Structure 1
């Protein structure tokens, strides 16, 4: 997914607005030790992927241990998959130690967009 100026502004606004609502006692996930530059953002905003570190993506294989994963990653690198769509709203959720949603708390659809638009 390409980062647009509009999507970046939306992500920045949500980050600043939601920051007071986050759990400040959450520890950084272990995988972040490989990305020390992301730690200040995590400590301040609860996510390592905000502002200049914002990178729209879909996580499909978090913590996958299948030995064939390396072959899949190599194949995907040779022919990167693409996804496209529109942002229809935002949500808030409880996540696990890997940042994967375990419970949706709220969804907010943008006015004028029907579900599945």
Structure 2
């Protein structure tokens, strides 16, 4: 609305300037006609005409200068938002929360602050990659559609593990339901992931993973998919290995009840859920 007002003012301004220019030109012609009666009058009118022509040129110059400054206001291109990392993950029932909380307490007793202790959300990743923020509404639509066609299913957690990426994770058994859900989400969302993103250095040395990353924006898809919940990131490996060997872990089962979306940091962690939807019963 503001842009339209500015544009209207600009049109009126230009009209007035060019109207005045035409009027001045008309006066100049009249003066020239009269000046034919005497040589001295002609010289005087000629000077006046030159002055008015210069004045007209200055007016056109002002219009051009104003137009240069106003062009950005009428740029028709939409605002392009930056690329961000969105994690689409399984939402689990309270039994998972209770067990993660208990592990976090034991870690704290050993002087280690868990992600849960730092108020990060519990995530079992299905598909994590980089998107343009403009595509968030499309991601939501797809997630809602898939969730409405999915029934709740069991997830069995069976061990604590230290990964090669310096994570402490709570591993889940990869059953048919989890794998199928991850594959479906990957296939449906991959067309919206940001293209031409940089391949992480650690992936460049693994041809199979590099190929997947270039195609899907993630190397942890399809046969490389591993269901787990991160408990710590960038851990002290020797300290964590000691904790794992001493901790009496009891396998447990939980129920997957929905899908969530979170914008994550460089380590793949988030403190807030952007959007969530429950599975149909």
Q: What is the TM-score of this pair, normalised by structure 1?
A: 0.71
Normalized per residue, which structure has more strand? 2
Among 226, 232, 239, which residue is 1:55 paired with?
Answer: 226
Distance change in 2, residues 1:107/1:28 (3 Å) = farther
Q: Deviations over 1:34-79 (max 9, x none)?
A: 7553222222222221100011111111112476223224x17x97
The aligned residue for residue 101 of structure 1 is 270
Cα distance in 2 for residues equivalent to 1:48 and 1:67: 27
The aligned residue for residue 86 of structure 1 is 255
Contact 1:88 1:110 in 2 (8 A): yes
Cα distance in 2 for residues equivalent to 1:33 and 1:72: 32
Instruction: Find the residue that maps to 1:64 and give its secondary structure.
Output: coil
Bigger Rg, structure 1 or 2: 2
User: What is the RMSD of the two structures over their aligned residues, measured on CA atoms?
Assistant: 2.9
Cα distance in 1 for residues equivalent to 2:272 and 2:198: 19
- Between 1 and 2, higher relative CO (CA 8 Å, sep ≥ 6) is seen in 2
Matched, 1:42 2:213: yes
For structure 1, list consecutive stretches of 5 or more residues without a partner in the other structure: 113-117
Query: Which range is displaced more, 99-108 or 32-41?
Result: 32-41
Superposed, 1:70-81 pairs within 5 Å as: 70-73=241-244, 75=245
Contact 1:92 1:105 in 2 (8 A): yes
Distance change in 2, residues 1:80/1:6 (3 Å) = same
The aligned residue for residue 115 of structure 1 is none
For structure 2, list consecutive stretches of 5 or more residues without a partner in the other structure: 1-171
Distance change in 2, residues 1:68/1:101 (3 Å) = same
Normalized per residue, which structure has more helix? 2
The aligned residue for residue 18 of structure 1 is 189
**Alignment coverage as a number of residue pairs:** 110
Cα distance in 1 for residues equivalent to 2:240 and 2:193: 33
